[in-house]
Structure 1
Amino acid sequence: MTTLPQPIFRFAPSPSGYLHLGHAYSALFSWTQAQKNNAQFMLRIEDIDTTRCRKEFTEAIYEDLAWLGLTWVDPPRIQSEHMEDYQQALTKLENQGLLYPCFCTRKEIQQEVQQSGRAPHGPDGLIYPGTCRNLSATEKDERLARGDSYALRLDTTKACALTGDLFWKDQSKGKIKATPEIFGDVVLARKDIHTSYHLSVAVDDALQNISCVTRGTDLFEATHIHRLLQALLKLPVPTWHHHDLIHDKDGNRLAKRHNALAIRELRARGNSLEDIKKMAGV
């Protein structure tokens, strides 16, 4: 009889601030799902944004999660230590003719959208109008040679034509048809940061053998582009479980700017583990 591999769940915070109640809920949600499914629990530190992420926040994440009673498979995956993995993925996409350098600034994109009389928006904001998609090879080479800033964008229309229809399974909503075109030509890397959230997550979930991705409903739409990247890079496809978000008394989604709700602050005020679980709705 064939033995199925052990399921693997994960929690993947970014060390750009201290963990708050929303993080506590998400971490405990994933941890609980792992326990229910006799699964391994992985931790990943998503620190590709070197301008905002700090080592002290990473250390605080370890401390807060341990205080919450969580344990994970050591060592945690630190994204900034694995940039070569993301470069290999970019090379595969480039070899398929799916990437192009975009030299437009945010202001230039806004101006072009305004001039067009249309302002289509996707999950990441304004949909890029494709200004640099058809630049000549000569112009691309000249601008790269002189050191112009750029972002590497995915030609989403071309990518979708290669893969055909794609689907993914959400634990609460069932079978979902992927519609990555809602993002337009998404940025997968920049001159100064050689990867992106979307690319890194797709690659890391595969390398860590994640079987079920648990995260908030604020990232539901991101799954469309992640499913496309998995197909293009021939990566395994997990299932997803998007949990509800935690809101404050005014109905606002908790974010890192709510310093008063940071776990370490609540701990310093004398709140117990059970107090914090109750606040987080666990």
Structure 2
Amino acid sequence: MTHAIVEMNNVSFHYGDRQALSKINFTINEGDFIGLVGPNGGGKTTLIKLLLGMEKPTNGSIHLFNKPIDKFKQKNKLGYVSQKANTFNRGFPATVEEVVTMGLTSKLGYFHRVSRQDKEKIHHAVEKVGMENYLNENIGDLSGGQQQRIFIARALVSEPNLLILDEPTVGVDAENVKKFFDLLHVLNKQNITLLLVTHDIGTMTHHASKIACLNKTLHFHGNPNEFQSISKDELSEFYGHPLHIVTHDH
């Protein structure tokens, strides 16, 4: 029996007088791999901010792991890889191990000594993304695809149940995008629930177990086959402009 990790009930959000989200009912179940798609300005980033507790809904309620979000304290259950990770300062003087250790900050505090058990978690997270041979390398010396794996390891080190990724493949070449999705597939099979924000509709329909299409309201939330049956005209109406979908090899 699957359990709901996220439940958004009738959630709306406004930035001043501008409505960003309207009456969102959205559920993420344990084991899901959800691709969240939609146009720029459609509310995808706002939805993530609400889930991370960075914003509070104007109306409606959000539950994480069966608890109201304002009473949810186990932040380590949520892992987050931001889009800004792709613009990481290559001159930052830190090793791979040090960058991944930063993922324990919310749990340990900034000045807590790293224990042997913490070291094991760090090494295990790096192994999960296939980067165990790079622990002592400077993060700035790695390729974009390798850095991306390290940022995922940083999110994984706190052993989250839900991993949220915001446009993680922006600026990454096609070969590394394929490797990235292969990695996500493995992580999902290891009981990590995934929410991936992306513009790459074609790729998501081949990898995600569910697709959610958001443009201020949730226009669609279901399996990829149902999503692919939506007509091009209807999908363009969801997006608010004509849409051309490119399907990648998979």
User: TM-score of the superposition, structure 1-length normalised?
Assistant: 0.29
Structure with greater proportional strand content: 2
Q: Which has the larger radius of gyration?
A: 1
